[in-house]
A and B are shown apart, each in its own frame.
Chain A
Amino acid sequence: MSIVIENAALKNNALSYIEDTIEKVPALVQLRTEAAETFASSDFPSIQHEEWKYTNIKKLVSNTYSFSNDVNVTAADIQDYLIEGTDVMVFVNGVYNASLSSFTSTEKVIVAPLSEAIEKHQDLVLAHLGKYADNSLPFVGVNTASVVEGGFVYAKRNALSETPLMFLNVVSGDNIVVQPRVLAVLEEGAQASIIERNAVIKGEAVLVNSVAEVNVAERANLSHLKLQDEVENTSLVTLSEAQQADNSVYHNITITTGGHIVRNNLNIALGEHCEGLMTGLYLVKGKTLVDNHTMVDHKMPNSYSNELYKGILSDKSKGVFNGKIFVREDAQKTNAFQSNKNILLSQDAVVDTKPQLEIWADDVSCSHGCTVGALDEEPMFYLRARGIPEDKARGLLIYAFAGDVIEKISNENVRALVEKIVAREMGYDLI
């Protein structure tokens, strides 16, 4: 058995799409061509591949997708996906839609679709785009090789962007693949908050292959939420690639409440005196498979990373967690914590969880732990014996379990939305 899936339809179709569109944005031709060459010489991973052991994407990459599809989407179609007090940049099947978007761009905080940014701020874009993500990985390579549009935010020195900015990828149509791209760059001392979300308003067998590159300069602070409240037949492969300079803070929060196959890759490289925070919640049912692969790389001394991922799985859903922590030889005085806790609500739900620690420095403080189990019976009986019906009691306990993840979302409106989504997914009316 090979560790790759050869001759995948997705690969062949992507290559012809890339060829057809390569001239579209002249400034990106070189980046795309290089990525396309790498992608052409690679293949999508099979389950023989160590990093893809539990997540079979064979069907996903064997499907024939269209890479573009003109549709008309109205404000009413996306109404439910907007968040109060949050700016939004909307893409429809990968195409930027100005009339559905609503955000402000200033001298200090430049916000623009990539196509516009590449015209007005070419140097800023090219200095970072494609520089952090590893294009030799097929999903990343194909995204870079296809990039003509995306979300761009650039916060200059000490700029504070108070309003969160959501990149909303609207998808409409069957067998569509979209490849969202985000580039967020924060100069020294800047602060910003971004959200990535998809809205598959119509369509079967949609694949979203997204790449977000993040560069957080010294003393800067970026909060990055991936809100994946996907419909049943949507699959996601995502990458969040973050570079942190000294004294910076980056907080990635990934919330998954649906989808067919969801594979998230999160990589953080830390400078000195950094805080790298990884928070995740997956609350899934049906046959959803959610796979979170995270990696934090302590390259320098005195940094702190903290990872908390929690899963609640019902029906025949499946969870995969793989958390890598690298502590390099120079990274003395590293503090790295990791915890993955799972509740299985059905006999058929499964979780594969694996911490992977590689520590080369000697003066470090690291801890990790994982749990997989059913909901405790004792608390359940206690609540029921006080008159609370079984389903509500279960809801309260699950809500409590998810609580310490949700409370890490600092923006009130966003937190309220996530609370609502979690409650809705549990099917309980919580007070």
Chain B
Amino acid sequence: MLKINDLKASIEDKEILKGINLEIKPGEVHAIMGPNGSGKSTLASVLAGREDYEVDGGDVDFDGEDLLEMAPEVRAQKGLFLAFQYPVEIPGVSNTNFLRTAVNEVRKARGEEPYNAANFMKEMKEKMQIVSIDKSLMGRSLNEGFSGGEKKRNEIFHMAMLDPKLAILDETDSGLDIDALRIVANGVNTLRDGNRSFVVVTHYQRLLDYIVPDFVHVLYKGKIVKSGTKELALELEEKGYDWIIQEVEGQN
């Protein structure tokens, strides 16, 4: 589904990703962990097509196509979804109108009929249940004045509506209390259907109790320095990142 090959990226001449290799197959859930500033959000942003970042090398294959050549909206239309670490507040654009535009653009690109108002509402209702998101958030401006938890839930709700092939969740757990965390994880697990793939970026192991990953990778200073299964996350929880950092620095 996604094949990242020696990906290097920088911002303002600062090298951040220093050769990432990662392959994600349909239905797999990969967790990416690592200390703050290691490049997790950068990786997510580069994959989603944020233009501030300069790609200095490598390539990314998404279902047989060159992902890095595509405009951000084309990536989304082809089934890539990014749940933002910091969802953007957009005053004056209603959550519902925005979603309808987005969903219909994506459907159009996939050769599907756009939803009419009635079908769209039906779809919304169904997907709102998945993340138990409050109806009152739908008529409001996108993320404006939403609490931290509401923003994250709204991201997962968008994901459910857009029905992506690959979803990247960037610290969707941060700032959530345990109940909200459970709800968000539940939403993800409901959408885990054996074909859809996930990249779960997280700083803490906590989320991975609820969304159980197939693989865990540790990103440090722009490189994946260790990969393993879910046991690696537990080990990190127990021992912190220091031992890995030492291991890496020791090699250098």
Taking CB atoms and an 8 Å cut-off, the chain A residues in 344-381 that contact chain B are 377-379, 381
B102 pairs with A390, CB closer than 8 A: no
B87 pairs with A382, CB closer than 8 A: yes
Given A384-B72, A387-B105, A389-B105, CB of A378 within 8 Å of CB of B88: yes
Chain B interface size, under 10 / 10 to 19 / 20 to 34 / 35 or more: 20 to 34
Given A381-B51, A381-B72, CB of A388 within 8 Å of CB of B102: yes
Which of A388, A390, A401, A431 is B92 in contact with, Cβ under 8 Å? A401
Q: Is A404 an interface residue (CB 8 A)?
A: yes
A404, closest chain B residue (CB)? B92
A402, closest chain B residue (CB)? B92
Q: Specify which chain B residues have a CB less than 8 angstroms from the CB of A383 in the assembled complex.
A: 90, 93, 98, 102
Report the bound CA distance from A387 to B75 in whole Å. 7
B108, closest chain A residue (CB)? A387
Q: Specify which chain A residues have a CB less than 8 angstroms from the CB of B103 in the assembled complex.
A: 387
Q: Specify which chain B residues have a CB less than 8 angstroms from the CB of A389 in the assembled complex.
A: 71, 73, 105
A387 pairs with B90, CB closer than 8 A: no
A385 pairs with B49, CB closer than 8 A: yes
Report the bound CA distance from A384 to B81 in whole Å. 11
Taking CB atoms and an 8 Å cut-off, the chain B residues in 193-237 that contact chain A are none
B104, closest chain A residue (CB)? A431
B76 pairs with A400, CB closer than 8 A: no
Q: Is A399 an interface residue (CB 8 A)?
A: yes
Report the bound CA distance from A378 to B92 in whole Å. 15
B76 pairs with A385, CB closer than 8 A: yes
B50 pairs with A386, CB closer than 8 A: no
Q: Specify which chain B residues have a CB less than 8 angstroms from the CB of A377 in the assembled complex.
A: 51-52
Report the bound CA distance from A384 to B82 in whole Å. 11
Which of A382, A387, A401, A404 is B88 in contact with, Cβ under 8 Å? A382
Report the bound CA distance from A390 to B105 in whole Å. 12
Q: Is B9 an interface residue (CB 8 A)?
A: no
| Secondary structure call for the A interface | helix
Task: Mark contacts of A9-46 with chain B using CB atoms, 8 A cut-off: 1 yes-contact digit, 0 otherwise.
Answer: 00000000000000000000000000000000000000
Minimum CB–CB distance from B61 to chain A (whole Å) comes to 19
Taking CB atoms and an 8 Å cut-off, the chain A residues in 99-152 that contact chain B are none
Q: Is A397 an interface residue (CB 8 A)?
A: yes
Which of B48, B92, B93, B141 is A385 in contact with, Cβ under 8 Å? B48
B76 pairs with A387, CB closer than 8 A: yes
B88 pairs with A388, CB closer than 8 A: no
Q: Specify which chain B residues have a CB less than 8 angstroms from the CB of A404 in the assembled complex.
A: 92
B162 pairs with A387, CB closer than 8 A: yes
Report the bound CA distance from A392 to B77 in whole Å. 14
Report the bound CA distance from A223 to B50 in whole Å. 45
Minimum CB–CB distance from B78 to chain A (whole Å) comes to 9
A384 pairs with B76, CB closer than 8 A: yes
Q: Is A396 an interface residue (CB 8 A)?
A: yes
A431 pairs with B76, CB closer than 8 A: no
Taking CB atoms and an 8 Å cut-off, the chain B residues in 93-117 that contact chain A are 93, 97-98, 100-103, 105-106, 109
B143, closest chain A residue (CB)? A382
Q: Specify which chain A residues have a CB less than 8 angstroms from the CB of B51 in the assembled complex.
A: 377, 381
11 A-B residue pairs with Cβ-Cβ distance under 8 Å, sorted by A, are A381-B49, A382-B84, A384-B73, A385-B50, A385-B73, A387-B76, A387-B103, A388-B101, A393-B73, A403-B92, A431-B101
